[in-house]
Chain A
């Protein structure tokens, strides 16, 4: 268990943290996830990578934690905030920094879009693995990421960053 924990806990923590946005809750999540793994080790059939299995459990636990907190509407506020920022001189200076703007916009995507972007870009999961983790058909995985990227482009545009797409 120590080896498994040592190898995967940081990525599990980061995935959870991006979903629940609270370090304390994300830390509690990893304990819960690995405890579940310890309890259910016999159920792991080895058909998917261990990391895929761990991320699926993390996602389930994170969504339960979010439901308990019932503050998902905060995401809409955060999304609006980026548009409101546009007149702030400090942010105007930041606009020049595409990298910083991109990170900021990645942070305000909806939880649905955030998780798919993270699973593909950071956790480097294939279409099939994302479908397994999120529990949606493979075609939905592809379209969801496309629209997440489109939303990202819109947010960037409203923050004054043009990238030539879409």
Chain B
């Protein structure tokens, strides 16, 4: 009986098991509310949640410290892709033959009607795209093409400090803007609910970065801040 009781005591509760996903903000609204309510009324759970937030921050820190792969991996990949033209060629040949077979089976009248409908559809599509572009056209734009000339990894020279930051769910845009201004920070990247911030334009010493992170963690609207390379 005692052994059974001990086993039951060791079994984690459903809410307890959901805590890590609550920390990362990946729970649905219903579960998030359940966890929040439980956290508000259970100090043990809140203590465990604090430990989880530490684990969360350090896991990000550890992974970010792993760096990036060298350009060798990319060169190897694209060389391998270049070495596979036969499959692509045969596939396109197959598609071409299927298309020509399909059209060959159509009567001249059907083919003529299909061509007319196709031309009309193209004109309509061009009109719609044109209208959307005119409506949403920004002042300028740039293409998102990726050049193979430059290295895909970052340079290792001294750079302005960066950190991954998660803001509190109730943080307002105005508060975030004020924080960015106070810290002379800018958002350089975003993934899920995490933002990568860059602070100023100059490199800092390790001690200064640690002080900066501690200050940032103390901000009311910041849930998590981890320095990253």
Contacts and interface: CB of A to CB of B under 8 A. Distances in A.
Interface string B183-207: 0000000011110000000000000
Contact of B69 (A10, A18, A38, A102): A10
Contact of A120 (B24, B51, B61, B194): B24
Interface in A112-166: 117-118, 120-122, 124-127, 142-143, 145-146, 149, 152-153, 163-166
Contact of A163 (B14, B54, B59, B62): B54
Interface in B54-111: 54-56, 58-63, 65-66, 68-70, 72-74, 76-78, 80-81, 84, 87
Interface residues of B, number: 49
B74 A146 contact: no
B17 interface: yes
A165 B55 CA distance: 12
Contacts of B76: 27-28, 31
Contact of A6 (B18, B20, B152): B152
B21 interface: yes
A124 B26 contact: yes
A66 interface: no
A166 B51 CA distance: 10
Contacts of B62: 103, 106-107
A39 to B, nearest CB: 8
Given A6-B146, A106-B62, A118-B63, 12 more contacts: A6-B152, A10-B68, A13-B68, A14-B63, A31-B73, A103-B65, A106-B55, A120-B26, A121-B23, A124-B26, A124-B194, A142-B18
Interface of B: 12, 14, 16-18, 20-21, 23-27, 47-48, 50-52, 54-56, 58-63, 65-66, 68-70, 72-74, 76-78, 80-81, 84, 87, 144, 146, 148, 152, 191-194
22 contacts: A3-B146, A13-B66, A13-B73, A14-B66, A18-B63, A27-B70, A30-B69, A31-B73, A34-B77, A38-B81, A98-B54, A102-B54, A103-B62, A103-B65, A118-B59, A121-B20, A121-B60, A126-B26, A126-B27, A145-B17, A152-B55, A164-B50
5 closest pairs, A vs B, by CB?
Answer: A121-B59, A142-B17, A2-B146, A102-B58, A126-B26
